[in-house]
């Protein structure tokens, strides 16, 4: 089962995702895509960890999501939080995000345990002035479309509440 | 009855909210959270006032929403327009928005007359470059989540049309 | 039949719109509102054209949408892609967008063949710092509300998936 949870910043996506994961059998695994680049991010991570509780397994996957999914398969649901940070990591290090996305899409059908992806909608504001930001939001939109097409279920979270879009 | 109406800028939230208020019994009250800081805002306020009509009571509440709700309770529905400007007022004057939010949440169950909140979704664009804007959109997202959790009904307005999310 | 398809950048709006048009009888017509101002835009246009295929008629309408709709009526559905770029063209050349919008709204009831509009939601991010961007997103929101009110059907596209809002 592939579930994609999308929404804006601080829309309650992660909290909703954790609730969905908790309702699934098996020991859950949190796959963190964040590189801890600054104090702001460190604080967020600590906050999320405290909320989840000790029964969660944890794994970092700043670049290689396929390896993380393969290695954690079979024991319980995996929560990938979040896709947009993973894409940020790839773009900032000049990796080929399209190739990485294709590899991820190819690996999904083989997954035995559920995969819950959290991602961000970033294309609903005014057009960014700088070209890099425009390119990033294009990439983020394409990644979201591809994962939504591959997912069994897609939820758009607004103010903490899910709207089912697939 | 607590109703939260959320959406983007110029999405028709206020107009939809006024229609909902007009359908409720009693003399409606408009609780304006805006400080008139510039001509742009003064124009918006005059435009909204002309649309509502003379039967509406009016009250300003740039900071103390709890007092405004307490004082206007019992006569008819109150429209708080908007939560995001109230938060802006708190943040710009270095007040403790989390404490103010908690006081507001604590005051809601005692309300006899309906409260209709209008708020903005601000987290669906690209990550803002400046840290203050990022902190603000985090706060706005948390406020929206908290009010949505407390509300009996939540509507997400897109192009003037409501999508029921709760 | 008037259909409005709205959503964020790279949300899959155009692709969804093309699928809807293809399901309608008659030879489809693509009404492009884009002025090719740079290489980035030229690339997008070429990409869209390749996806659509040779059966589509094509017409440019950077300013005069009414003329484009009148001239193409009767043969099959017209896809206007996109309203937000049309508004951009009007604003950047200091034309009276409100008058142009009114003329467009007045022309819609007379259309024999379906019109499918693609537009962008741009008001769901943080408030832009520059006044021109704020004015533009206000205008874009008002245009979307007006077209949504005139439309028989409105779809909000998230990650390539439509949410029916009307």
Which residue did the predictor score with more confidence, A106 or A44?
A106
Q: Which whole-number Å values give the CA distances from A32 to A29, A105, A144, B150, C115, in the listed order? A: 9, 18, 18, 30, 45
The answer to whether B34 faces chain A, any CB pair under 8 Å, is no
- Closest partner residue to A156 (CB to CB) among C121, C137, C158 is C158
Chain C residues with CB under 8 Å of B121 CB are 124
- pLDDT greater than 70 at residue A36: no
- In chain B, the N- to C-terminal Cα span, in Å, equals 13
Which listed residue (B44, B48, B49, B59) is catalytic? B48
> Is there a contact between A122 and A137 (Cβ–Cβ < 8 Å)?
yes
Counting as contact any 3 or more CB pairs under 8 A, the partners of A are B, C
Q: What is the pLDDT of residue C45?
A: 74
CATH number where B95 lies: 3.40.50.300
Catalytic residues of C: 48
Catalytic residues of A: 48
Mean pLDDT of C100-104: 98
Residue span of the structural domain in which C17 resides: 2-164
Flag the least confident range among A107-116, B23-32, C36-45, C131-140. C36-45
CB atoms A6 and C121 under 8 Å: no
Please compute, for residue B30, the number of CA atoms within 13 A of its CA located in the half-sphere on the CB side.
22
Number of Cβ pairs < 8 A linking chain A and chain B? 78
Contacts of A13 (CB under 8 A, 6+ apart): A5, A6, A7, A82, A118, A119, A120, A157
Mean pLDDT of A15-28: 96
The answer to whether A44 faces chain C, any CB pair under 8 Å, is no
- Closest partner residue to A160 (CB to CB) among B122, B126, B149 is B149
Q: What is the pLDDT of residue A54?
A: 85
- Closest partner residue to A125 (CB to CB) among C11, C40, C122 is C122
Residues in chain C: 166
CB atoms B8 and C165 under 8 Å: no
Chain A residues with CB under 8 Å of C137 CB are 126
Mean residue pLDDT across chain C:
94
Domain count, chain C: 1
pLDDT band at A94 (very low <50, low <70, confident <90, very high): very high
- pLDDT greater than 70 at residue C36: no
Taking alpha carbons only, the member of C113, C52, C107, C103 closest to residue C81 is C52
Chain B residues with CB under 8 Å of A137 CB are 126
Question: Phi and psi of A71, rounded to 5°?
Answer: -70, -25
- pLDDT greater than 70 at residue C5: yes
The answer to whether C124 faces chain B, any CB pair under 8 Å, is yes
- pLDDT greater than 70 at residue A145: yes
Q: What is the pLDDT of residue B53?
A: 82
Between helix A97-107 and helix A83-92 the angle, nearest 10°, is 140
- Closest partner residue to B6 (CB to CB) among A12, A123, A158 is A158
Q: What is the pLDDT of residue A56?
A: 92
Mean pLDDT of C114-119: 98
The answer to whether C163 faces chain A, any CB pair under 8 Å, is yes
CB atoms C149 and B126 under 8 Å: no
Chain C residues with CB under 8 Å of B7 CB are 123-124
pLDDT band at C43 (very low <50, low <70, confident <90, very high): confident
The answer to whether C132 faces chain B, any CB pair under 8 Å, is no
Q: What is the pLDDT of residue A47?
A: 79
Q: What is the pLDDT of residue B47?
A: 79
Chain A residues with CB under 8 Å of C11 CB are 121, 123, 141, 144-145
% of residues, chain A, pLDDT over 70: 99
Chain B residues with CB under 8 Å of A158 CB are 6, 121, 148, 154, 156, 165
Mean pLDDT of C72-95: 96
Q: What is the pLDDT of residue B36?
A: 66
- Closest partner residue to B158 (CB to CB) among C6, C131, C140 is C6
- pLDDT greater than 70 at residue C150: yes
> Is there a contact between C90 and C107 (Cβ–Cβ < 8 Å)?
no
CB atoms C156 and B136 under 8 Å: no
- pLDDT greater than 70 at residue A130: yes
Per-residue pLDDT of chain B (166 residues; tens, 9 = 90+): 999 999 999 999 999 999 999 999 999 999 999 876 677 777 877 877 788 888 899 999 999 999 999 999 999 999 999 999 999 999 999 999 999 999 999 999 999 999 999 999 999 999 999 899 999 999 999 999 999 999 999 999 999 999 999 9
Q: Which residues are registered as beta bridge partners of C59?
A: C31
Catalytic residue check, B47: no
- pLDDT greater than 90 at residue A70: yes
pLDDT band at C39 (very low <50, low <70, confident <90, very high): confident
């Amino acid at each position: 089962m592939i579930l994609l949870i999308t929404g804006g910043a601080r829309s309650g996506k992660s909290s909703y995702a954790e609730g969905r994961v908790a309702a699934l059998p098996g020991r859950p695994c949190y796959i963190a895509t964040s590189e801890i680049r600054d104090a702001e991010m460190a604080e967020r991570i600590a906050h999320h960890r405290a909320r989840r509780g000790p029964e969660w397994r944890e794994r970092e996957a700043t670049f290689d999501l396929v390896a993380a999914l393969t290695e954690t398969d079979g024991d319980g649901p995996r929560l990938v939080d979040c896709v947009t940070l993973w894409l940020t990591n790839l773009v900032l290090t000049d990796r080929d995000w399209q190739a990485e996305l294709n590899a991820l899409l190819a690996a999904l059908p083989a997954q035995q345990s559920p995969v819950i992806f959290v991602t961000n909608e970033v294309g609903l504001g005014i057009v960014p002035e700088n070209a890099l930001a425009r390119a990033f939001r294009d990439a983020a939109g394409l990644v979201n479309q591809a994962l939504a097409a591959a997912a069994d279920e897609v939820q758009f979270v607004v103010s903490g509440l899910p709207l089912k879009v697939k």
